[in-house]
């Protein structure tokens, strides 16, 4: 059993999840390729984000399970299902795209989802977003005169600014990936009462400082966030890809893109270890979620990760479109380390 209040991440099958009977589950995300029926709770009040992204393995379903080492309390605020401890909250929301409205449908859905997320965090007094996962259908498709990913960025930017939340600097780790056509927008997140350390990659321009060629409203996320809890460190690494500076590299070359992505993760690990005396995050200490644009590339990507992370690495592979059409793979990660003593 891990320490009370410390986060723990498991990737398990449905059968393993049911057999475990964990009493400290904070929240769950499922990935199974079926249309998302809507985020909500299971019979025990646990928030479940049902994401419509196919699993690239023999398992028909994968459960991403966040645990906290203590018995959490469940609740709901508007459309957000959540579970919380005194220091941490996991929440999820599913927002279908409406017909009609002032803005394009994805913008309307994103505006509403983020309004409800901000309202929930304010009402429950968890001011610090730590990590956010966003899944939107047809992320690269042109609609209403612009790419849908840019519509999402615009709506997220407007809501965060309107709610007095930062849009540069002190912003959460985050990912935005494609989901199955006709599925709803699904967002899940971790928030806390303690501010994390925000980590940027010296090899890259911060996403919120991208030039205007990537849209009038830049993506609002840090490359990583580092959370210190008594005796523990948790590192949340945003979706990393083959980007150096602000440009995509190695277009069409899956081997080179995978290696560049791992180099970016290693740069973030070095920054995190510098920011937290006593930390020793390594590639092999991480749990990774890998998004693969073209399923035929899976054997190559898997071979590269086995070489870098080892055969026993905790990795799941999902088929998903990535925010830039020239990117073939994206890797997000999380690491948890005990500390002998806080300085």
The pTM for the full model equals 0.96
2 in a structural domain? no
Largest alpha-carbon pair distance within the chain?
Answer: 56
CA separation for the pair 326, 249 (Å, rounded): 9
- Residue 229 contacts residue 87 (beta carbons within 8 Å): yes
Identify whether 112 is a catalytic site residue: no
Asked whether residue 320 is domain-assigned, the answer is yes
pLDDT at position 102, please?
A: 82
Structure tokens at 36: 């998302």
Q: Are 134 and 176 in contact (CB under 8 A)?
A: yes
Query: Does a structural domain hold residue 3?
Result: no
Q: Which two tokens stand for residue 155?
A: 């709506």
Helix intervals (H) in 251-324: 254-275, 298-309
Of 187, 183, 185, 224, the C-alpha closest to 207 is: 224
109 is a domain residue: yes
**Containing structural domain, residue 82:** 8-338
In a domain, 343, yes or no: no
At 259, list the tokens.
Answer: 């290696």
d(CA 80, CA 245): 36
Count the domains in the chain. 1
Residue 323 lies in a domain: yes
Task: Specify if 188 maps to a domain.
Answer: yes
Of the residues 147, 200, 330, 332, only one is catalytic, namely 330
DSSP, collapsed to helix, strand or coil, labels residue 82 as strand
Is residue 147 in a domain? Answer: yes
111: CATH: 3.30.1330.40
Predicted pLDDT at 343: 45
Would you write out the chain's pLDDT as a tens digit for each of its 343 residues?
Answer: 466 778 999 999 888 999 999 999 999 999 985 444 455 767 679 999 999 999 998 777 899 999 999 999 999 999 999 999 999 999 999 999 998 778 899 999 999 999 999 999 999 999 999 999 999 999 999 999 999 999 999 999 999 999 999 999 999 999 999 999 999 999 999 999 999 999 999 999 999 999 999 999 999 999 999 999 988 999 999 999 999 999 999 999 999 999 999 999 999 999 999 999 889 999 999 999 999 999 999 999 999 999 999 988 899 999 999 999 999 999 999 999 998 654 4
């Amino acid at each position: 059993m891990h320490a009370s209040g410390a986060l723990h991440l498991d990737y398990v099958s449905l059968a393993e999840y049911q057999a475990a009977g964990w009493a400290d589950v904070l929240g769950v995300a499922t990935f199974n390729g079926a249309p998302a029926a809507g985020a909500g709770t299971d019979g025990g009040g646990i928030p479940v984000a049902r994401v419509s992204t196919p699993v690239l393995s023999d398992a028909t379903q994968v459960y991403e399970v966040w645990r906290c080492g203590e018995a959490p309390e469940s609740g709901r605020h508007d459309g957000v299902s959540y579970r919380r401890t005194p220091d941490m909250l996991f929440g999820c929301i599913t927002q279908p795209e409406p017909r009609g409205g002032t803005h394009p449908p994805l913008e309307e859905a994103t505006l509403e989802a983020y309004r409800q997320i901000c309202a929930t965090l304010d009402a429950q007094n968890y001011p610090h977003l730590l990590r956010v996962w966003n899944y939107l259908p047809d992320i690269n498709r042109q609609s209403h005169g612009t790419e849908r990913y840019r519509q999402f960025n615009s709506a997220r930017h407007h809501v965060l600014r309107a709610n007095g939340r930062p849009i540069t600097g002190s912003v959460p780790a985050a990912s935005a990936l494609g989901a199955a056509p006709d599925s709803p927008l699904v967002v899940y997140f971790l928030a806390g009462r303690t501010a994390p350390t925000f980590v940027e990659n010296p090899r890259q321009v911060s996403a919120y400082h991208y030039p205007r060629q990537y849209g009038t409203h830049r993506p609002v996320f840090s490359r990583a966030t580092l959370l210190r809890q008594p005796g523990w460190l948790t590192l949340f690494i945003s979706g990393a890809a083959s980007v150096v500076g602000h440009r995509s590299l190695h277009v069409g070359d899956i081997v080179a893109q995978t290696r560049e992505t791992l180099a970016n993760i290693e740069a973030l690990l070095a920054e995190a270890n510098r920011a937290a005396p006593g930390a020793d995050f390594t590639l092999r200490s991480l749990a990774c979620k890998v998004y693969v644009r073209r399923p035929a590339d899976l054997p190559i990507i898997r071979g590269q990760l086995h070489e870098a992370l080892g055969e026993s690495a905790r990795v799941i592979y999902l088929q998903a479109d990535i925010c830039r059409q020239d990117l073939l793979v994206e890797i997000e990660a999380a690491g948890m380390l005990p500390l002998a003593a806080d300085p």
